[in-house]
Structure 1
Amino acid sequence: MVILIILKKRTERLILVANKLSDYTTAELVRELQKREAVEKIDVQPHEEYIITANGHQVKGTGPSIMLTVTD
């Protein structure tokens, strides 16, 4: 299974003590996931365009974004 997560970068940082995954912000989850072995990270720079095509679907956007490919 491959999961692609796209996160728009934010300048704010929020630190929480949480017991469930749903208690963490998306940014916190992404920071943790990108440390893992089976995760490839791509930084999309500001105003850089990207296009992702898979299974007949297409996603277009511009940075800044973080793209994670999870293959575990």
Structure 2
Amino acid sequence: MLVRDPGLLEAALTRAATTIDGRDACPTLVFLGVNGRTLTMSDEFIVAITEGRLDDVGPIAAELVDHAAER
């Protein structure tokens, strides 16, 4: 798969690891496997993100939370 913007990918990974005063800056952006969760998403969701049709962090995070299930 071709990454449309490597800089955005790097920023997203950095954002997920950001803390403020020892607390997660973005608590809805979790490392799912580490936290015992599995993500079940449609391919269309992933393709929409990679093609730039879905690029607003809020709705993306909400979808991820909605589709993250405990293992």
Q: TM-score, normalised by structure 1?
A: 0.32
Structure number, greater radius of gyration:
1
Q: TM-score, normalised by structure 2?
A: 0.32
Greater percentage in helix: 2
